[in-house]
Structure 1
Amino acid sequence: MIDYRMILLPFLISLILTPIVKQYSIYCGAYAKENKRTVHHGKISRIGGVAIYLSFIITMAIFVKADLQIKGLVIGSSIMFFTGLIDDLIDIKPLVKLTLEVIAALVLIYFGISVDIIRLPLGIQIDTGIISFVFTIIWVAGITNAVNLIDGLDGLAGGMSVIVLVVIGSIAIIERRLDLLSIAFILASGTFGFLAYNAHPASIFMGDCGSLFLGFMISAISLLGFKSSTILTLALPILLLMLPIIDTLSAILRRTLKGMKFMEADKSHIHHLLMRQFGHRNTVIIMCGLTSLFGLSAFAYMINRNIGFFVMVAILLAVEIFIEKSAMISEKFHPLIGLWHRIQRKSRKIFKKVG
């Protein structure tokens, strides 16, 4: 089993370093800028990810023996961390950021972290090198940006990341993967220490250096854990990250319909819409709660596929109905509700004829 010091140390490092990072922000001017999309007021540090990154790197160096894949994980995640840190300090263009995400994904591939074979139902296998290569890059960039996009409320990205990492670590216990267990719990512990200052009302933000680092690490850990995966095991990390994935896809569709650029920010993400109705703190609790339910449904699926599948579908239907009712994508986008209304109209016509 995992050494308890491996969990305690990153928590303490992050807990101690975060106030130091806040003080340093005074000298380097690394504050979150207020604009029409922000929900904070005043000067708040936006480089809190430094504490998460250092707590992870220091603990890994002390407790985890670095093999080839661990080296690739550290190098790739460091590229993402410093990309985010530079963006937090001086702002870099979205295309440059995306290019560096691709480079970080290529580092993972070079060190042997990728999905080489995807086994689908009915015995179908996808093992073409170029498909696996492209899939890995899209996966890393997609999950990294998904976590980055949900970093809009106090404690949201950090809280959801902790839940995802704990679930992945717990699944690693079942699968007897001590390497994944150690990495996931070390990162979750360091992030949890940061959350002591990032919970609403936050006195520090993780910034892009934190969200890009966490997003990259989650994508890389899932690739490391579900290599040569079946469609089921590949679906588990997707399931755990369902909310940020749905949010990202909705943002792409919404901005395309409005003629906006994909990287052009707006205030129509899931967390923004929830906050208008439930408030800041409750929105974070709701989204973290939903992520926990997705995690529990993954465990339920492993125990009983029918029950697990039913829970997954129920949660997804609830999220879809919310998206349609809130006009998150468009006022005209309501396929599920529209289908239900058509069924109701046809049912009433049938009953009238029968009556």
Structure 2
Amino acid sequence: MTLTLLFGLSISFLVTLVFAPFFIPMLRRLHFGQYIREEGPQSHQKKSGTPTMGGVIFLIGLLIGILVMGLKYHVTTPETYMLLFVTFGFGLVGLLDDFIKIVMKRNMGLTSKQKMAAQIVISLIFWFIFTSYDYSTYLTFPGTNVMLNLSWFYPVFVVFLLIGVPNATNLTDGMDGLLTGLSIIAFAAYAVISWYAMDLGVAVFAMVMLGALLGFLIFNAHPARVFMGDTGSLAIGGALAGMAILTNTEILLAIIGGVFAIETLSVIIQVISFKTTGRRIFKMSPIHHHFELTGWSEWKVVTVFWLVGLALAVIGIYLKVGMIN
């Protein structure tokens, strides 16, 4: 089974590697370039025009990888396709957002109400499908036997998670390779956890997504030749939230994806502080920009954040695998 999972990783990696050199020039010819906000770090202005919507690249790798694993090796499960649905569902919302920003020249893309409505619809469909399974309304606290029954509130929590995580990953996507690298670490962690738990459908999905992102990182690492855009960042968040729900590791995701949580908290803290006191806690939020404005190079910020993400993922794996064993 391990070799089969590695094959799935290899397929999506190779598809992404082959597809990217054809797709990136097409984005450039269509002038699908990234718009850089003027209020962002001035050093990022030189990135203006870099092709975006690159999330399509690794989503194609993911789709082909899953189809190969299902049709050839018959190792996919309904959970695999649920994850594929939520990933592409949120990816489609991001694609529309990117398209409006770039082609229709509306810098803010979809309105907040439109984006929220679309995300709620996708989350509710996912929940409706999820209810056909024998699910638990209990949240498990990592590394302990403590459980909390959310009972009737659990559906609300699921929808909140499915909306919150994609928006957290979206906030994290602000530097070359930052979100891609952190996502690789998170999906690798879930591949290990689901493999130990004998949750084959989730393990297959995690490994195939891991391969697709590894291929994409080659083109997204500093200096990036393509950005994933909201297409990719929202898709990644949807996938991570979906895996957490299906494996009953909702709280553990806050550890494995701890950097995403920190990035989101930095924005919340900054907004609350500025609105209540008129003062900013950070030089700029999300927090990766704060470190950049203190003098760290972009590559240093990304590397340090990757290392923090790796440490948190190892802790998460230890807490979960220890409980499984």
Normalised TM-score (structure 2): 0.83
CA distance in 1 between counterparts of 2:62 and 2:9 reads: 10
- Could you tell me whether the CA contact under 8 Å between 1:146 and 1:247 is conserved in 2? yes
Residue number in structure 1 paired with 2:313: 295
Q: Secondary structure at the match of 1:278?
A: coil
How far the C-alpha of 1:106 sits from its partner, in A, is 1.0
CA distance in 1 between counterparts of 2:305 and 2:314 reads: 14
Q: How many residues align?
A: 293
Structure number with greater Rg is: 1
Distance 1:224 1:249, change over 3 A: same
Residue number in structure 2 paired with 1:161: 183
- Could you tell me whether the CA contact under 8 Å between 1:21 and 1:47 is conserved in 2? no
Partner residue of 1:280 out of 291, 298, 309: 298
CA distance in 1 between counterparts of 2:256 and 2:97 reads: 27
Structure 1 residues not aligned, in runs of 5+: 227-232, 261-265, 306-355
Q: Root-mean-square deviation (CA), in Å?
A: 2.4
Partner residue of 2:151 out of 120, 128, 132: 128
CA distance in 2 between counterparts of 1:69 and 1:300 reads: 24
Normalised TM-score (structure 1): 0.76
Map residues 239-318 of structure 1 onto 2, 5 A cutoff: 239-259=255-275, 267-276=284-293, 277-301=295-319
Paired residue type of 2:113: L
Do residues 49 (structure 1) and 55 (structure 2) align? yes
Q: Secondary structure at the match of 1:180?
A: helix
Residue number in structure 2 paired with 1:87: 97
CA distance in 1 between counterparts of 2:319 and 2:145 reads: 19
- Could you tell me whether the CA contact under 8 Å between 1:32 and 1:44 is conserved in 2? yes
CA distance in 2 between counterparts of 1:181 and 1:71 reads: 12
Residue number in structure 1 paired with 2:243: 221
Structure 2 residues not aligned, in runs of 5+: 101-108, 277-282
CA distance in 2 between counterparts of 1:110 and 1:240 reads: 26
Map residues 40-119 of structure 1 onto 2, 5 A cutoff: 40-41=45-46, 42-64=48-70, 65=74, 67-90=77-100, 91-112=109-130, 116-118=137-139
Distance 1:128 1:45, change over 3 A: same
Aligned-residue sequence identity (percent) comes to 22
Distance 1:279 1:103, change over 3 A: same
Paired residue type of 2:67: A
Paired residue type of 2:169: V
Distance 1:259 1:28, change over 3 A: farther
How far the C-alpha of 1:70 sits from its partner, in A, is 3.3
Paired residue type of 2:269: L
